[in-house]
Structure 1
């Protein structure tokens, strides 16, 4: 069943990309829109998709997938973006994209098991330390709403949001340790990072909804891009199918929508993972809706609420049904969301700031995580390597995106450590 879900997701996502219906990479949607309008050739589109997504697959998606033995959605859907857009959009290109996409999904799942077994034969098994790459992400993620507030409104409001979120976190820790909340004899444990995240999101949307546009500056997005919204709605059946499949795969705990929930799933904290996924989904609604309405190109995961459905559903079949329904409602409500975003320009504008804040936070958290993992693999040398790797990458003009430096560096240290042990230049870390 697990293999079937992943193969079907890979095939369907590749078809959506091939037909210019949906791509996972947010930055690709405007590019695909240019191709649809006839301003960009198919060959150029394929090359652009490869350049924008391949590094993220290798440097971001795969390392997280390996670290937790759970497929991070980026590793499969960024790959199917490339597959779908490189293959021609014709009567043989679309079936080819579906076949290659399905095969890619299968290889990702099958290769994952082989990789895990391979690590047992290495002199330095660095799979467990590699899991430390994502540890700081879960803890630091609660700070992104404060950063988004500071970027969009003011540093003072950002600091206020950060302080109050931190205070709520520590109050939650106190409540948990004191056992104040209980049902019968069972003490309820609240997730401190999740509570802080919710407080931060409340402040972010409070400030955003207070921000008004200039007189006469309001633009009816739904009316202005009605044909593009209509084209997305015409393809709703595809989004229902892939939404149902992804919700089912998430319920089987073989897939996660982001590094935070992935690490929580790996730790067995399914409810906390669902809360983190919900907070992320709420934050991404303005971004996904705005890019979809403006370009006519949607996301195969919609507003990412299907991951929340998968994590909170009692079984896989309910996840499949509810995931399909949620995907249908998201598409049908696209015009209403456009009008809401138009009514509150601050909320609409917050989409890009939320994305930027998440990116900056992940860059820092993954660098710290990569450094910690590397030092566990090769004490002393690990910190030295990551610091040098990061600085040289900056000087070289960032050929590797900052977000990927920590994970890629940790994998590199693991490989180097095994070579050094094989050459007798390093002892096996205890």
Structure 2
């Protein structure tokens, strides 16, 4: 049973899992072994070495995370009925780093988990009883997010390999979406298209790397015999960071088990598109989408982990799709522990491998950027659709105006989160106008 189907009314095992996992992630963050926010991870090296205080590091984490928690994590959870990592793990990053004692970190994390599982239900019920139901309106975001997300391989290929290949991938994806809608109407229309698009991108990248290695082979044969690893000033740092993470392998295995179990319970989605797919019960498609997200973020997580000695709270995110597809939480716990063990043990090898495949590494960076661009447009467009659904032209004026004001002020709320946050604030404004007898809600 999904959270979406019950209005965020979680069962006791689901509640306990969320609370326990939030406690664990806060504890891991307190030890500076892992954080969810990729932007915070590089700052942990100074903290571990004593060059930065716990309070200063917590302030950095809060500054980089608050907008995503309240502008993206909370609206997405309320709109889809499915929890997400921004809502759960960004706050535990901050609470764990901020806690002055080891025993306090898991208590603060557990408290946040309790706020989420018990507070969201009340907020959801209250919002649906308001004259202007902005949570139902937020569900308008699902269609643009799911369909525009399908185009991210096209953007990535175009940026890395040019307009011609990008155009070819675009035509192929469009044809596959049309065919899927016609032949398999119960399947998410973008599933096959994204799979083919990503495979084409990887194929182009591997072909380029192979060609460049063949062209450079004669030069390499006549070159000196010096070791690149010995000459690399980062090699010793990377080795020390990987060793630090391996020393805590049992803790990471417990963390991986918890992440995978949470995904298996079908109350959690690893991304914007995934949340709506999980809410619809399309778990295979959700696994596919999060697998592509993993390909985009793997190099970033690996390199920042090797540079800072702090891993990702959710690892490479491979535990997400594994969890979606497993039939019970017991298998998910075993699989999640195994996934994290392999990831941590293979971290140094992955870092070296990425260094030998520059085009594949660049493809991941282009994938990550393309995912952000596609979702940015989708979230903005979906938020304006939500504004129109709850308030017509006035709703668009209020929500769009708040978004533009955020842009003009230098984006105090990050762009990705600004539009959903504007819908929430706009919904409050429209309800106030209704109570002042200045606005009549749009009828469904």
The answer, yes or no, to whether TM exceeds 0.5 is yes
From 390, 409, 431, the equivalent of 1:396 is: 409
The residue aligned with 2:351 is 338
1:98 is the counterpart of 2:111: no
Q: State the TM-score, normalized to the length of structure 2.
A: 0.88
Change beyond 3 A, Cα 1:218–1:426: farther
In the TM superposition, residue 22 of structure 1 has moved relative to its aligned partner by 0.3
- TM superposition outliers: structure 1 runs of 4+ over 4 Å: 212-224
Aligned partners of 2:142, 2:180: CA distance in 1, in Å?
23
> Structure 1 stretch 117-126 or stretch 225-234: which is displaced more?
117-126
Cα distance in structure 2, aligned partners of 1:288 and 1:204: 20
TM-score, with length taken from structure 1: 0.91
The alignment partner of 2:437 has SS state of coil
**Partner Cα distance (2:14, 2:228) in 1:** 45
Map 1:14-413 to 2 at 5 A: 14-88=26-100, 93-176=101-184, 189-209=186-206, 210-211=208-209, 212=212, 220=229, 223-224=235-236, 225-413=238-426
Residues of 2 paired with 1:169 and 1:419: CA distance? 43
Counterpart CA distance in 1 for 2:148 and 2:393 is 24
- On the 8 A contact 2:73/2:85 being kept in 1, the answer is yes
| Paired residue total | 415
Change (3 A) 1:219 1:377: farther
SS state of the match for residue 426, structure 1? coil
1:228-270 CA distance string (max 9 Å, x none): 1111111121221121112112211221111111101112222
- Taking structure 1 as reference, are residues 169 and 106 closer, same or farther at Cα in structure 2, changes over 3 Å only? same
Q: Distance in 1 between matches of 2:228 and 2:370?
A: 26
Deviates further, 52-61 or 218-227: 218-227
1:243–1:301 Cα contact (<8 Å) kept: yes
Query: How far apart, in 2, do the equivalents of 1:407 and 1:64 lie?
Result: 8
Match of 2:22 among 10, 34, 41: 10
Q: Is the 8 A contact 1:31 1:45 kept in 2?
A: yes
- Contact 2:295/2:364 (CA < 8 Å) preserved in 1? no
Deviations 1:189-248 (A, max 9, x none): 543201111112112222322245887899558955111111111112122112111211
Distance between the aligned counterparts of 2:306 and 2:166, measured in 1? 29
Equivalent-residue separation in structure 2 for 1:117 and 1:390 (angstroms): 26
After TM superposition, give the deviation of residue 123 of structure 1 in Å: 1.9
Cα deviation for residue 313 of structure 1 reads 0.6
- 1:135–1:263 Cα contact (<8 Å) kept: no
Relative to structure 2, which stretch is displaced further, 117-126 or 371-380? 117-126
* Residue segments in structure 2 that go unaligned for 5+ positions in a row: 1-12, 221-225
Q: Deviations over 1:145-182 (max 9, x none)?
A: 222223333343333322322222223233326xxxxx
Deviation track 1:331-353 (CA, whole Å, cap 9, x = no partner) reads 12222222321220122233333
Pick closer, same or farther for the CA change 1:219–1:378 going to 2, 3 Å: farther
2:429 paired with 1:416 = yes
Greater Cα offset, 211-220 or 270-279: 211-220
